Structure 1
Amino acid sequence: MRSMGGGEINVSAYDTAWVALVHDLNGGDAPQFPAAVDWIVRNQLPDGSWGDAAMFLVHDGIIRTLARLCCRIDVLEHARRSVRQGIPREVLHTAPTSLLYSIEGMVDLDWNRLLKLRCPDGSFLSSPAATAYALQQTGDQKCLKYIEGIVTKFNGGVPCVYPVDTFEHLWAVDRLNRLGISRYFTSEIRQCMDYAYRHRSERGFGYTWDIPVKDIDDTAMGFRLLRSHGYDVSPDVFRNFEKDGEFFCFVGQSSQSITAFYNTYRATQLAFPGDEVLGRAERYCSDFLRERRAAGKLYDKWIIAKDLPGEVGYALDFPWKASLPRVETRMYREQYGGSDDVWIGKVLYSFFCNGTFLKAAKADFTNFQRLSRLEWHGLKRWYDRNNLQEHGVTLQSALRAYFLAAANIFEPNRAAERLGWARTAVLAEAVASHLRSSASADSVREWLVSKLTSDSCDKQPREAKNSAENRLLYALDELIDHLALGSASDSLREAWKQWLMSWPGKGSEVSREGDTALFLVRTVEICAGRHGSTTDQKMSIQKYSQLEQITSNSHT
């Protein structure tokens, strides 16, 4: 991850064949790139074809093999469809479009005009096949330099697209996040995000930073990751992919892509108030994906994934704001295809995702399962010792509280926050249940508030457990002492007092979910050490006010 450079991607027999077809530019009969010819010879399969030995696909092998045999056929359906469906040949020669990626399938081209549309590295949209064809036809030195560089880098063979630096930086971070192991790569992820932020554009992202044709897939991934990592990015970039009430992946596309709109839908989940374009994109992508799911057509033109319908279905059924991170990780582990994933461009080739990531995620998940079992047994003993069942809290409810805490805060070094959340949620339910059943709920609440000061709690005799209220106060006092030390204890007591004082009163129909959610957020912050003394908390209240408002908003 620290040395990605232009990205690592598997060699394509199809593109290597086009490079091998380039004759000596000085007029001889020998190949200009003998290393490419050598790669073709060394990588022929036992049946005489070329293709992916690990995944046999007839059309893949035929296309690669025909390219090797130098048959001049137009196999590039994307190029033909794009010309038919709205990109005139004149546009091909005047503005960068995705057609430049497939010019090896076209004839009667005006090379004087096309050469002006090259990328800064001399390639045509980073396509070795297209660039090799241009080199055949023109002998252009910039095209030559590009091909020479990648032939050397990949030891004779070439991939079907290079570089893919932006794509690889973004997707590597996304995979680490979704597999739940990103905390082991914090510095590397920061480097990737800094790289993406430096190379962002008002027109969006492409698979490499300087490619002139941007797409909504890379743009959505870049926007979502940058915003979720705290970078200031504008959603206006999505306006570049909107026309007449619809969104598209890139100009001149022949059909819509499931994965492109799946990633765009994920990006829209991070909308801020006022992000109108994200609201429109969310509605469009949601309708599109739901329609495809209902029709059983959740397959994509770019990748063959292990369980794309499962990924899309989870995103639709459990939006980001309602998803539990560890549950999402567990689901994604089953959906993740690792080295079995392939991307269909002009040919099929193995996706870059390293199986090592998946192995690390499995090991991490196993370790967390062991840790969570130990924590749950400890929580259960605490539940039994304080006889919380007496106060209306079932063991199932306690297990649910721990599950919610562990599904959101799963890092081993955050046990204090996780257990602080779970125990506070359980005890808050016990207090709420007691108040609801008490004939004098208001007086009991006021009594608990009056006792929640350091002095009064110190004076409370630990053996005075002759009433339900005293037993609850004892459990509360013990929990606060267990979760926090020093000034943090004062912050916890203040949080409990505020929660109790917000009690709506007996018989009220007002929902408590927002107040309790805010209370749990404050508890987690205090257990994590991010809330200092009561004085410090008051000084930084504006810093947390927006987060707390969002947390307590029942519509969020």
Structure 2
Amino acid sequence: MGKLDYNNCVAIHQLEWNTMQQWYVDFDMGRFGMSNTTSLLVSYYLAAASVFEPERSIDRIAWAKTTTLLNAISSFFDSLQLSIEHRKDFVDKFRNKPSSLRTLHELALDTLMACGRDIHPQIPHACRKLWERWLTRWQGGGDATEEQAELMVQTISMIDGRWTSKELLAHPQYQRISTVTNNLCHEISQSHKSKENRITCFDSETANATIECRMQELVQHVLSRSPDDLDRDLRQTFLAVAKTFFYKAYYDTDTINVHITKVLFETVL
């Protein structure tokens, strides 16, 4: 019975992966710095490994597409070495030109609308607002990974039917857990980039100690049982997103590819 359930999950994930590849082609993602589907596959794998229940297909797709869009924005601007003014222009177009269907700002909106179309009529507008908040913070010249984790958590939660209201965003524990997660994921990404670029001035020992402390703090928030705690599923989503950042930084590309093959494409006999 266990083997049958596992193989059914593999079949579902392969169908979803086909959907992701078609989305990649339909929106011509290669125009925005993604020359192949490798990054797309990793994004989908991390989503599927984190949210593996068969009935949570929409969550996986939203997670993978959000990560892919964030990677596309970062890759597009970094590859062309565009200025802060170009970033501001990009954000202005995202806000003010919803009819421009073949540009990256509209790509983000259309993707999230596709995820939310059959769930709740308010989701497309709410998702757009989430992206606007992140883009507004990013346009000033910050790194693309800054507060990326929170955007992912909010998008996943919203697609799953958990609204990120103003009251929630102002909740003391939400502010603590989001700050810890954002800082943790940003530091993991920076540490990973430094290792890839062989930057010797980066103090890896200090960075690792900081990352470990932040991860412990995040786990404490997730496992907390105070009456004033946030929704448990929301806290678990913060942890799940953080673990994907840690995973990508910890394992090399070859090892990740082996894991992808086993999890997404190999059935159990």
- Unpaired runs of at least 5, structure 2: 185-210, 216-269
What secondary structure, in the 3-state scheme, does the structure 2 residue paired with 1:410 have?
Answer: coil
What secondary structure, in the 3-state scheme, does the structure 1 residue paired with 2:138 have?
Answer: coil
Number of equivalences: 180
Find the counterpart in structure 2 of residue 493 from structure 1.
128
- Mapped pair 1:478 → 2:110: yes
1:546 alignment partner AA: R
Instruction: Write out per-residue CA displacement over residues 390-413 of structure 1, whole angstroms, 9 at most, x where no aligned residue.
Output: 212231110000000000001111
- After superposition, where does 1:405-416 map in structure 2 within 5 Å? 405-416=47-58
Work out the CA distance in 2 between the residues paired with 1:412 and 1:392: 32
- CA radius of gyration, larger in: 1
Offset, 1:457: 4.4
Q: CA RMSD in A?
A: 2.3
Instruction: Write out per-residue CA displacement over residues 257-295 of structure 1, whole angstroms, 9 at most, x where no aligned residue.
Output: xxxxxxxxxxxxxxxxxxxxxxxxxxxxxxxxxxxxxxx
- Mapped pair 1:419 → 2:51: no
Provide TM-score, normalisation by structure 2. Answer: 0.60
1:368 alignment partner AA: C
Find the counterpart in structure 2 of residue 540 from structure 1.
168
Work out the CA distance in 2 between the residues paired with 1:443 and 1:413: 43
Specify whether residues 385 and 524 from structure 1 end up closer, same or farther in structure 2 by C-alpha distance, changes over 3 A only: same
What secondary structure, in the 3-state scheme, does the structure 1 residue paired with 2:147 have?
Answer: helix
Specify whether residues 538 and 452 from structure 1 end up closer, same or farther in structure 2 by C-alpha distance, changes over 3 A only: farther
Offset, 1:503: 2.3
Find the counterpart in structure 1 of residue 92 from structure 2.
450
Find the counterpart in structure 2 of residue 524 from structure 1.
156
- After superposition, where does 1:141-290 map in structure 2 within 5 Å? none
Work out the CA distance in 2 between the residues paired with 1:490 and 1:441: 28
Offset, 1:432: 1.2
2:180 alignment partner AA: I
Find the counterpart in structure 2 of residue 552 from structure 1.
182
Find the counterpart in structure 1 of residue 203 from structure 2.
none
Instruction: Write out per-residue CA displacement over residues 150-172 of structure 1, whole angstroms, 9 at most, x where no aligned residue.
Output: xxxxxxxxxxxxxxxxxxxxxxx
Provide TM-score, normalisation by structure 1. Answer: 0.30
Find the counterpart in structure 1 of residue 78 from structure 2.
436
- After superposition, where does 1:111-130 map in structure 2 within 5 Å? none
Offset, 1:443: 2.6
Work out the CA distance in 2 between the residues paired with 1:486 and 1:457: 21
Specify whether residues 497 and 551 from structure 1 end up closer, same or farther in structure 2 by C-alpha distance, changes over 3 A only: same
What secondary structure, in the 3-state scheme, does the structure 2 residue paired with 1:513 have?
Answer: coil
What secondary structure, in the 3-state scheme, does the structure 2 residue paired with 1:540 have?
Answer: helix
What secondary structure, in the 3-state scheme, does the structure 2 residue paired with 1:423 have?
Answer: helix
- Mapped pair 1:372 → 2:13: yes
1:476 alignment partner AA: A
- After superposition, where does 1:60-71 map in structure 2 within 5 Å? none
How many percent identity over aligned positions?
26
Offset, 1:437: 2.9
Specify whether residues 511 and 473 from structure 1 end up closer, same or farther in structure 2 by C-alpha distance, changes over 3 A only: closer
- After superposition, where does 1:304-319 map in structure 2 within 5 Å? none
Bigger relative contact order, structure 1 or 2, given CA contacts below 8 A and separation 6+?
Answer: 2
Work out the CA distance in 2 between the residues paired with 1:439 and 1:397: 20
2:59 alignment partner AA: E
Work out the CA distance in 1 between the residues paired with 2:149 and 2:60: 14
1:530 alignment partner AA: R
Specify whether residues 501 and 397 from structure 1 end up closer, same or farther in structure 2 by C-alpha distance, changes over 3 A only: same
1:549 alignment partner AA: T
Whether the aligned pair in 1 keeps the contact of 2:62 and 2:115 (CA below 8 Å) is yes
Specify whether residues 439 and 403 from structure 1 end up closer, same or farther in structure 2 by C-alpha distance, changes over 3 A only: closer
2:109 alignment partner AA: D
1:496 alignment partner AA: W
Offset, 1:550: 2.9
